[in-house]
Amino acid sequence: MRKLRAGLLAGVLAGGTLAAMTFTGMASTSQAAPSGGALGAAPYLYFGWGSPPNPTTVMSASGVKAFTLAFILSNGTCNPQWDGSRSLTGSDKTKINSIRSAGGDVVPSFGGWSGNKLGESCSSASALAGAYQKVINAYSLKAIDIDIEATEFSTNSVQDRVLGALKTIKQNNSGLKVFVTMPVEQNGLESHGQRLVKQAVKLGVPVDVWSVMPFDFGGGSGNMATLTTNAVQAVHNQLKSYYSGKSDAQIYAMQGISSMNGKTDDSETVTLANFKTIQSWANQHHLGRLTFWSANRDRPCASGSDADSCGGISQKAWDFSKVVAGFTG
């Protein structure tokens, strides 16, 4: 589905080397903490793609305080690296330090559409938990994002491995927030998403926020604010049936939206007005997370610009990030 948004790099690693990719997008940060914490409002930012903006520039101009950083992948074994090729202690850590020095924080995202996934490369839930823990330890993290897509999403044994690993790291890291991001259809979670959530409930995996990517629906038409809120409400109804005994308010607090800014892979357009409506709906229902793909694209297009450096619509720099900065959950 989302070669753009969460998957983001459409076509990454070939033998551990980054290849071609597509675009995707998400989140931002909030002035009042949503149920996912302040890190529930963090736009996606991808340092390995196009011409990434300086994160502190985006922070000072928009009010955003955090970024969801894409993507942690496998280097071909059960070893986590940025894009499957860059060390946890290299240039990415320097940039993370600069974000924190400016008063912000980060949420590393594991997975996406392309590349070697840790969920598939690690042979067991315990080994996968160890890989997640390496990243948590490297950056003293308060939250992580599991962007589960493609075959990692559609293979039951891999779903179970991911869930088992998440249960372990939640037990071993007090206070750590876990966001799980996955595809969605117009009428809610499709079969793989339904299975993932039901299995998490069955296994007792305490996922804090289930985020969905409400775009690439097909057809390239329709009001994306309406399509988004309808899809998220449909997911709400599904989650409420899975989590027996939880109130509407508790379920909304467990939900998140991971949108795109501007043009999607499927010829849809999320306008700034659409995104403001989405943010207002998310605030009204006190969702736990709001994000978009991506800060890299949150600026006007120059002549000949690629989709990795702008959203393909008329806008000012960091317009979508400013909206996310107003997300209060």
Q: What is the pLDDT of residue 38?
A: 80
Would you say residue 187 lies in a domain?
Answer: yes
Nearest partner of 60 among 25, 27, 103, judged by Cα: 103
Which residues are catalytic, by number? 149
Cα–Cα distance between 55 and 29 in angstroms, integer?
A: 13
Would you say residue 18 lies in a domain?
Answer: no
Q: What is the pLDDT of residue 35?
A: 66
Cα–Cα distance between 82 and 207 in angstroms, integer?
A: 23
Q: What is the pLDDT of residue 17?
A: 31
Cα–Cα distance between 188 and 185 in angstroms, integer?
A: 5
Range of the domain at 292: 38-325
Would you say residue 266 lies in a domain?
Answer: yes
Would you say residue 203 lies in a domain?
Answer: yes
Q: What is the pLDDT of residue 3?
A: 52
Residues 98-155 have pLDDT tens digits of 999 999 999 999 999 999 999 999 999 999 999 999 999 999 999 999 999 999 999 9
Q: Count CB atoms within 10 A of the CB of residue 138.
A: 16
Would you say residue 59 lies in a domain?
Answer: yes
> Which parts of the chain register pLDDT below 50?
1-2, 4-32
Contacts by 303-307 with C-beta closer than 8 Å and gap 24+?
Answer: 306/50, 307/22, 307/23, 307/263
- Total number of domains in the chain: 1
Would you say residue 28 lies in a domain?
Answer: no
Q: What is the pLDDT of residue 307?
A: 76
CATH of the domain at 101: 3.20.20.80
Would you say residue 44 lies in a domain?
Answer: yes
Cα–Cα distance between 172 and 307 in angstroms, integer?
A: 40
Would you say residue 196 lies in a domain?
Answer: yes
Residues contacting 3, CB < 8 A, separation 6+: 10, 22, 24, 113, 114, 216, 265
Cα–Cα distance between 284 and 109 in angstroms, integer?
A: 26
Q: What is the pLDDT of residue 85?
A: 96
Q: What is the pLDDT of residue 221?
A: 80
